Structures are given as structure tokens and as C-alpha cells.
Structure 1
Amino acid sequence: MINYIIQVILFQVLFVAVYDFFLSKETFFTKNRWYLLGTAVLSFVLPLFKIPTVQKAVPQEYYILLPEVVLSPQKVIEKAAWYQSITYLDLLFWIGCVLFLVMFLVKLERIIRLVLQYGTTPKGNYKLILLPKETKAFSFFNYIFLGKDIPLSKQEKIIQHELVHSEQKHTLDLLFFEFLKIVMWFNPMVYVYQNRISLVHEYISDAVASKSDKKENYINHLLADIFQVEHISFINQFYKHSLIKKRIIMMTKTQSKKVKQLKYLLLIPLLGSMILYTACSSEEVKIEKQPVTVYKTEDGKIVKKPSTGYQSKYLDIYLGDGMPNAKEYSIDELREEEKGEYLDLLKGFNKEGMPQLNIRVFEAENGRKMVAFEKPHVEKSETQRKNNYQDSEDIPFSLLDKVPTFPGCAEGDKDCFHKSVSKFVQDNFDMSITKDLGLPIGKKRIYVQFKIDKEGKVIDVKARAPHPTLEQYAEELAQKLPQMEPGIKNGAKVQVGYTLPITFEVK
């Protein structure tokens, strides 16, 4: 999601830059209005574009070992306080949204209050609201607000100006950006866009209203007096001091030649580069013809050695995003308790009907043991080797663009997914099921394997446990996981497999 937001802001910066440098000084006011509206919408759509022809083949299935879920009779007592589970970035976002929503409602309430307080006078295609002891002049949809203290000689011109705003539905443009400010209050480009389109609205209205009189007379009306200004961002107002100079410059400007409309063609290469950027933004995956193991020697040198006889598939819960620069151990070199721990884990994978894996052990520079489970190498035909990338079992899970999204999590939030699955198990696993099964005292494990298909549904649930009752119970529990948003690779939905270890202690 953060990557998406960054792309939206980046595209908006580029669109506004093109507008400011090439289009803002031209007199194609209506086209500029639609340019600003259209590019504001496009900036949200373009990051979603994916072009299949420039993308890699999409593997159909991935596997990953989830963090272990530890259960105990005191799990309710040991649960973290509610405030410890809050994502403060999300909290800040929602506080901002609520604050800007309240500000919008306050502004809207001020407009409604003026209508109710002073009443309306129907004038054909608009409604006039006269404001006593005021020199304000602004419009909101087909409501024109006019201060009674504005001289009668100027009122007609102001009404003509505001009628253009009303007839061309300029208020809708400002409301659109006002709503964007509520959901993207942190994005400075939304404010820039609203400022630019407010100025374009004034250019359009000036161009229409000044046709019925000499431009010099119209400009004199703008300069004659200093009027009050209503500070509401989604209304069109006749007198806004910061805009008057720019409006006068544009009214006295020579009409732009039609050939300059070709400047809008700058959008073509700009859009093309943006689509290519979003379609190719995923890092290209390079798969070597033969797997390579990386070692760190005693003198600190990094050595790469072909992994003869193996085609590896590393689980990123242990190894991060790739093979570590670490010393490799034989499983027999480990302490008996460590060896038993890993072999017990391996049995959880190698249950009938599950992928059959081997085990390799590494030690990182900080001394921490890490383990990789890998699929034994199988010789493939030339055709199979060419299609190696499409063999989903050869692709590490860390290469997914977006992991499946658990309900309530931000899109593709891997950490939130892990925590949510763990919380689901902790909240719904009934520890009483482990009693009266005759299990020996000590730590026990259940391994649950399931897949999240392309529709986000949990399927193919299998479990291995120290008792058949626990296997059945674990499978039923996993099947109750909610439907999620599926994993994504290169813009396509993929099926993802998981193995979930659950640990509990029998006393």
C-alpha cells in the first residue's frame, strides 16, 4: 500500500509539472480543467496497470512456513494489552481522516446555515442569497451568495461571473478534491491540484463574463475595492485577493494559437513511461542453471559453490530473501536436542501427500542457527528446463509481489498476515481438546498445511498431530480461517501454500 501511495504522489508531481511548465500559461482553460481532473484520477489508476507481455511467467503456487503458534492454558492472561496491538501509523492515518472529515462538515454547515438564516430568492436558473452587512460574493452549486454592501453597479457583473461557475458545475470539481483531502490528507499534491483548478475556474468565468462588456471595465470592477473573502475551499468566490493579479494577466493575454494544443500530446510519452514503470517495477528474477550455495570461510572470504544434486527451495522465515553468507553444518554436527527439533519439524513436512523435503542447516554471523528445507533434485527434460521458471515449486515465496491479505490488514502486509493467523489460532483453539487423550507429558506440536487459492479461500487442509483427534480438530480450525485477498505475482493472482506449526505443552 505504501508503494502504491508513493507512486500516486510521484505521478501527480509529474502531471502537475507538465501543467505548470507547458499548459498553465495557455488560454485553453476548459481543456486545462479536464487535464487537471483527468490526471488526478489517472494517478490513482496507473499504479494498478500491469502489462502481461513485459512480465514474467506467473508461478501458480508457493509454500511458506508460518511462525510457530504457542498455546498455553494461560494464553488469555498472557495476551498483550489492546494498545500493544495497535499499528500507530494506521492510527495516525485514521485520526487525520476523521479530522479532515470534521473540517469538511464544519465548512458545509456554514454554507447551510447561511441558506437557512437568510433564505433564498429564486432567480430562474439560480437562487440568490443576500448577506446583510457583508461584501462577500461566492457560489455553491446554483446558490449565489452576494453581500448587500456590494455596490449595485457591480452586483450584475459578479452574478454573471458566478453563474458560469454554477452552470459548468465547478463546485463538483472542488468537492472532488475536498474528498481526496479527507482520504489523502497527507498528500501535498491534492492541495496543489485544488489550487490549480480553482484558478482555472476563475479564468473560465472571467472569459465568459467579460464578453458582454469591455475587458477594461471588467478589470476595473476587480480592482475597485477590497472585499471580504470567505475561507471555504470548495466554493467559487469572485474576490480572492491572491488570484486577482493572475486573473488580470490572463484576461489581457493574447489568445493562444490552436497549434499550441499539440502540447497536450506530451501526455502520450508521459503516460507510456508511467505504465512501463508500474508494469516493470517488480525486480526481475534471475534463476541460475544450477543452484549455488554461498559459504563464508574462516578468513572471511565469500565462496560460491554449485549445490550438486539439489534444486533448492528456501523458506524465507529462516533465510530472509536469499541464501545467507553463512557456514553450513551437517545435521549430524548439531546437538541432539537441536537435531531432534529440526528432524521433528521435517517429519511435519514429509507427511504423505505433502512435498517431500530434505534439510540443511546454517549458522549466521551472529551465531544463530538457520534451517533450509529443500526439494531433492529431479532431472528434467530440455523442455522442462526451459519452463523452469513456471515450475512453482522452484520459486521462493519471498518473490511474491503481494502476500495474501488477511481481513483487516493493509493490502499485502506480510507481518499483519502472520500476526492475524496466529491470533486466530490463539483465540479459537480450545485447549480442553488436548485433555484426556493420554498424551505423554512434554511439549507437543501440530503441523497444519493449507493453501490459499486464487480466490482467497482456504483449501487442501491437512494436519499432522500426536493424536488423530487433534489432527481432525486442527483441520477443522484451519478451514474456519476467513476468506482473504489472494497472493499476487506480476499482477496475477496465485495460489499460496502454508505450513503452520502449533505448539502446546502437556503437563
Structure 2
Amino acid sequence: MINYIIQVILFQVLFVAVYDFFLSKETFFNKNRWYLLSTALLSFVLPLFKISTVQKAVPKEYYILLPEVVLSPQKVIEKASWYQSINYLDVLFLGGCILFFIVFLVKLERIIRLVLRYGTTRKDNYKLIFLPKETKAFSFFNYIFLGNDIPSQKREKIIQHELVHSDQKHTIDLLFFELLKIVMWFNPMVYVYQNRISLVHEYISDAVASKSEKKENYINHLLADIFQVEHISFINQFYKHSLIKKRIIMMTKTQSKKVKQLKYLLLIPLLGSMILYTACSSEEVKMNKVEKQPVTVYKSEDGKIVKKPSTGYQSKYLDLFLGKELPNTKEYSIDELTEEEKGEYLALLNGFNKEGMPQLSIRVFEAENGRKMVAFDFMGKNENQGKTNYQDSEDVPFSTMEKVPTFPGCAEGDKACFTRSLQQFVVDNFDASLSKTLGLSAGKKRIYVQFKIDKNGKVIDVKARASHVTLKQHVEALVQKLPQMQPGEHNGKKVRVSYTLPITFNVE
């Protein structure tokens, strides 16, 4: 979601930059109005646009490595405190939306109150409201508000100007951006857009209203008095001091030549580059990229890690440790691996997940020259005799999916919420008493559980690796109790997604 919001803001910056540098000084006012409206909408649609031909091919088998669930060393499982389970970014976003919605309602209430308090005078195609002891002049849809202190000889010109706003439905434009401000209150470009289109509205009305008299007289009329301004962002105001200078400059400007309309063709390469960017960009930013190197094999001699002569190994991201005892160097969690290292780690993990193979845990330790090495922690024969075809072409990875599975209670396709909810489910349902009854040796213990979410949103093919068969059976039963989810989608079809979830806890 954050990546989507960043793209929306970036596209709006580019669209407004094109407008300011190439279009804002031209007299194609109606075209500029539709440019601003359409590009504001396009900025929300383009990040969702994908071209399958430029995306990577979907691999046949891919297990998504989820973040580790780390359980409390004191109780094996720590029930998360209420304040730990809160997503404060979500609270901030929702709080901002509520605040700006209230502000919108207050502004709307002020207009309704003026109508109810002072009443309306019905005309042919508009309604006139006189405001006692005021010099304000503005419109809202077909309601025109005039201050009683505005001289009578000026009222007709103001009404003609405001009727252009009413006839061309300019209020709808302003309300559109006002609603955008509620859901994207943190986006400064929404305010920029609203400012730009308010000015275009005035240009349009000035162009129409000034046709009935000389432009010099119309301009003098604008400058004749200092009027009050109603500070409501979705009304069209006749006298708004910050815009009057720009309006006068535009009215005195020579009509733009039609050939300059070709400037709108700048949208074609701009849109093309945006579509290509959204189609090729991935949601995950790969950092600390490592290079493949010939594998170095290590072993333990007299408590020290030494290199073992080896030949025939292909270049890999991870080195290899062989020995009965585990290395005594720093151990890395799954989250500390790069994307390339995670992929290689998972390939090893899946390769040993076969019937008849000895059950083991693959752990990652520090090697030399900034590299990492994998070590095999054998835990006995694999008792899971289930036969699962792991070369199923229906399985689709997170990184290429159009719509990922959705955990109940989360927004559709929200990966972060999926991860948080899954972790909280494990925290709430893991049996803390098991560590005290199984006679486990002291130290860090890891459980790896693999499962799939099928095309109906059900959890299937659950398999776990643990240091004790009871732990293995408990975690498998726990994951099988996950609620039914909304399935993932790719290319318009429901697909199956595979996951690996590491669970870590300490036994004292």
C-alpha cells in the first residue's frame, strides 16, 4: 500500500509539472480543466496497470518466506499486549480521514445554515441568497450568495460570472478534490490540484462574463473594491484576492494559437513511461544485493572453523558447513538474509522435504568475508508421509501476483496486515506449556511450517519441521485452524500460494 501511495504522489507531481511548465499559460481553459481532472484520476489508476508481457514468468514452485514469529523466552509464547498489536500508521491514517471528514461536514453545514437562515429568492435557473451586512460573493452549485453591501450596479455582473460556474458544474470539480483530501489528507498534491483547478474555473467564468462588455471595464470592476472572502475551499468565489492578479493577466493575454494544443501530446510519452514503470516495478526493494561465488566448505576441528578443500560445487550465494557439531559463529535469522540468500535457503529447505529423507533444520551462520554458510541440524527421520506434488504450476509467488490472499479483517490484498494477523494467530494459539513437558534441551529452538492457501482460500498441505514430534504435530494442527481467507488472484484467475513460516523460541 505504501508503494502504491508513493507512486500516486509521484505521478501527480509529474502531471502537475507538465501542466505548470507547458499548459498553465495557455488560454485553452476548458481543456486545462479536463486535463487536471483526468490526470488526478489517472494517477490512482496507473499504479494498478500491469502488462503481463513485461513481467517475469511465474515459477512453478515458490514458497513465500514469512517473517519469523519470535516467542518470549520466559513463557515460550508471549501474548502480545494490546498496544503492541496496534498498527499506529493505520490509526494515524484513519484519524486523519475522520478529522478531514469532520472539517468537510463543518464547511457543508456553514453553507446549509446560510441557506436556511436567510432563505432563497428563486430565479429562472438559479437561487439567490442575500447575506446581510456582508460583501461576500460566491456560488455553490446553482445557489448564488451575494452580500447586501455589494452595490446594486455590480450585482448583475457578479451573478453572470457565478452562473458560468453553476452551468458548467464547477462545484463538482471542487467537491471531487475535497473528497480526495479526506482519503489522502497527507498528500500535498491534492491541495495543489485544487488550487490549480480553482484558478482555471475563474479563467473560464471571466472569459464568458467579459464578452458582454469591454475587458477594461470588467478589469476595473474587479479592482474597484476590497471584498471579504469566505474561506470554504469548495465554493467558487468572485472576489478572491490571491487570484485576481492572475485573472487579470490571463484576460489581457493574447488568445493562444491552436497549434499550441499539440502540447497536450506530451501526455503520450508521459503515460507510456508511467505504464512501463508500474508494469516492471516490484513491490519489494532488494537491498544489500550479494554476488554468487564458488562455494567454500567449512568444518569444525578442535572447536575451530576451518576450510575444507572442495571441488565441483557451483557458484552460490551461501557457503556450506559440514560437521557433527554446529558452528560457534554468529547465527542469522531468516529476516537478516538478502532476497537472493532467502531464495537459495528455501530451495535447500524444499529439497529435503521429501518422503524418506531425514528430518532436519537448516540454519545459517556467519562465514568469512561477509558471506554466510548453511549448516544442517539433523533431527531424525521424517514422520510426515504425506505425498505432495511441489511442482504444481498453480502455485504463484507473492512478487508476481496481482492480488495476494487476504486475511479476514484485513483490507483486500494487504500483505502487512496478512503477516501481522498470521503472527498474532500463532501467538494466541501456541501452547506455552509444551516446552516444560517435552524435556527439550536449553537454547534457541526453531520450527518451520509450510502450508498453502488454495483457490478457495482454505489452508492445505500443512507440513512442519521441529525438534520434537509433539511440537511438529501441535504446530501443524495450529496452522490447520487458520480461518478461511480470500484467495489470491493472478491474470484474473484465483490461484494457490505457498508459504514457509519460521517460529523461534528459547528454552531455559
TM-score range, shorter chain: 0.7 to 0.9
User: Deviation at 1:426?
Assistant: 2.6
| Partner residue, 1:174 | 174
Gaps of 5+ in 2: 299-306, 332-347, 377-390
TM-score, normalised by the number of residues in structure 2: 0.75
Query: Between Structure 1 and Structure 2, which shows a larger proportion of helix residues?
Result: 1
Gaps of 5+ in 1: 298-302, 313-322, 340-344, 374-389
User: Deviation at 1:475?
Assistant: 3.8
Q: Retained in 2: the 8 A contact 1:68–1:501?
A: yes
In structure 1, how many angstroms separate the alpha carbons of the residues matched to 2:39 and 2:84?
Answer: 40
In structure 1, how many angstroms separate the alpha carbons of the residues matched to 2:104 and 2:244?
Answer: 26
5 Å matches for 1:427-446? 427-429=428-430, 440-442=438-440
User: Deviation at 1:479?
Assistant: 4.4
| Secondary structure, counterpart of 1:230 in structure 2 | coil
In structure 1, how many angstroms separate the alpha carbons of the residues matched to 2:20 and 2:349?
Answer: 62
Deviates more, 1:109-118 or 1:96-105: 96-105
Aligned-residue sequence identity (percent) comes to 75
5 Å matches for 1:152-163? 152-163=152-163
**Residue type matched to 1:459 in 2?**
I
User: Deviation at 1:126?
Assistant: 1.3
Q: Deviations over 1:67-98 (max 9, x none)?
A: 2564899578x423222233333333223222
In structure 2, how many angstroms separate the alpha carbons of the residues matched to 1:397 and 1:306?
Answer: 36
User: Deviation at 1:473?
Assistant: 8.2
In structure 2, how many angstroms separate the alpha carbons of the residues matched to 1:411 and 1:307?
Answer: 50
- Cα 1:294–1:2 change in 2 (3 A) is farther
User: Deviation at 1:152?
Assistant: 0.7
User: Deviation at 1:420?
Assistant: 2.3
Q: Retained in 1: the 8 A contact 2:408–2:483?
A: no
Q: Does 1:460 align with 2:452?
A: no
| Partner residue, 2:337 | none
| Partner residue, 2:185 | 185
| Partner residue, 1:244 | 244
| Partner residue, 2:260 | 260
User: Deviation at 1:109?
Assistant: 1.4
Q: Retained in 2: the 8 A contact 1:137–1:147?
A: yes
Q: Deviations over 1:333-353 (max 9, x none)?
A: 4279x99xxxxx979963539
User: Deviation at 1:215?
Assistant: 2.0
Partner of residue 321 from structure 2, selected from 329, 336, 345: 329
In structure 1, how many angstroms separate the alpha carbons of the residues matched to 2:70 and 2:93?
Answer: 30
- Cα 1:506–1:204 change in 2 (3 A) is closer
| Secondary structure, counterpart of 2:324 in structure 1 | helix
In structure 2, how many angstroms separate the alpha carbons of the residues matched to 1:426 and 1:120?
Answer: 63
Root mean square deviation of aligned Cα: 4.7
In structure 1, how many angstroms separate the alpha carbons of the residues matched to 2:399 and 2:26?
Answer: 50
- Cα 1:372–1:197 change in 2 (3 A) is farther
**Residue type matched to 1:478 in 2?**
Q
| Partner residue, 1:196 | 196
In structure 2, how many angstroms separate the alpha carbons of the residues matched to 1:13 and 1:495?
Answer: 38
In structure 1, how many angstroms separate the alpha carbons of the residues matched to 2:358 and 2:155?
Answer: 81
Q: Deviations over 1:261-305 (max 9, x none)?
A: 1111111111111111222224999xxxx97546599xxxxx9x9
| Partner residue, 2:426 | 425
Q: Deviations over 1:244-274 (max 9, x none)?
A: 1111121122222222111111111111111
TM-score, normalised by the number of residues in structure 1: 0.75
User: Deviation at 1:56?
Assistant: 2.0
- Cα 1:255–1:445 change in 2 (3 A) is closer
In structure 1, how many angstroms separate the alpha carbons of the residues matched to 2:172 and 2:277?
Answer: 32
In structure 1, how many angstroms separate the alpha carbons of the residues matched to 2:429 and 2:10?
Answer: 43
**Residue type matched to 2:480 in 1?**
A
In structure 1, how many angstroms separate the alpha carbons of the residues matched to 2:61 and 2:495?
Answer: 6
| Partner residue, 2:271 | 271
- Cα 1:401–1:198 change in 2 (3 A) is same
| Partner residue, 1:13 | 13
| Partner residue, 1:352 | 355
Q: Retained in 2: the 8 A contact 1:127–1:143?
A: yes
